[in-house]
């Protein structure tokens, strides 16, 4: 299991700040764009626009904190990354459980029909299948399969 770096360098903290600004800025931009006036950038004071503005401010504050003193930025970084690691481990288990419980049995049921003709026929001693010859006509060429 990957552990959180509890003593990040200044470069890591700066990258964290820029990533937070980009992430919260993008989410805020999407909220603003699909707000009460879709495809409009006008301020109408809607709830989504206020949330978008709050996300932009949060991203900017985290960027400023990441460029500030390391004593202030380090706890924010460690807390954020610890939460992200916890969520990542939970979502990994949830997604893999979904795949193995829902998707694999579904495709296994489809596979029961032996589409590749792997099973040996009861009367046969070989897997050999005779080739079916097709005429080389223009009509046949228009339907290659």
Q: Evaluate whether residue 15 is within a structural domain.
A: yes
More confident residue, 14 or 107: 14
- What is the domain range of residue 26? 10-113
Would residue 71 count as lying in a domain? yes
DSSP line for 20-84: HHHHHHHHHHHHHHTSSSTT-------HHHHHHHHHHHHHHHHHHHHHS-HHHHHHHHHHHHHHH
Q: How confident is the model at residue 14 (pLDDT cuts 50, 70, 90)?
A: very high
pLDDT tens per residue across span 71-115: 999 999 999 999 999 999 999 999 999 999 998 888 888 777 777
Q: What is the pTM of this model?
A: 0.65
**Any idea which of 30-44, 54-68, 87-101 has the lowest mean pLDDT?**
30-44
Is residue 28 assigned to a domain? yes
Return the pLDDT at 1.
Answer: 55
User: Total structural domains in the chain?
Assistant: 1
Is 141 within a domain?
no
């Amino acid at each position: 299991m990957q552990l959180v770096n509890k003593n990040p360098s200044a470069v890591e903290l700066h990258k964290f700040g820029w990533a937070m600004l980009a992430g919260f800025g993008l989410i805020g931009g999407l909220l603003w764009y699909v707000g009460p006036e879709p495809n409009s950038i006008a301020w109408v004071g809607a709830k989504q626009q206020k949330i978008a503005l709050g996300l932009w401010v949060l991203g900017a504050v985290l960027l400023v904190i990441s460029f500030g003193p390391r004593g202030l930025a380090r706890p924010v970084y460690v807390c954020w990354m610890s939460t992200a690691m916890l969520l990542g481990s939970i979502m990994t288990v949830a997604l893999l459980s979904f795949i193995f419980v829902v998707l694999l049995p579904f495709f296994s049921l489809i596979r029961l029909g032996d589409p590749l003709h792997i099973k040996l026929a009861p009367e046969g001693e070989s897997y050999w299948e005779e080739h079916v010859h097709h005429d080389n006509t223009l009509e046949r060429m228009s339907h290659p399969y």
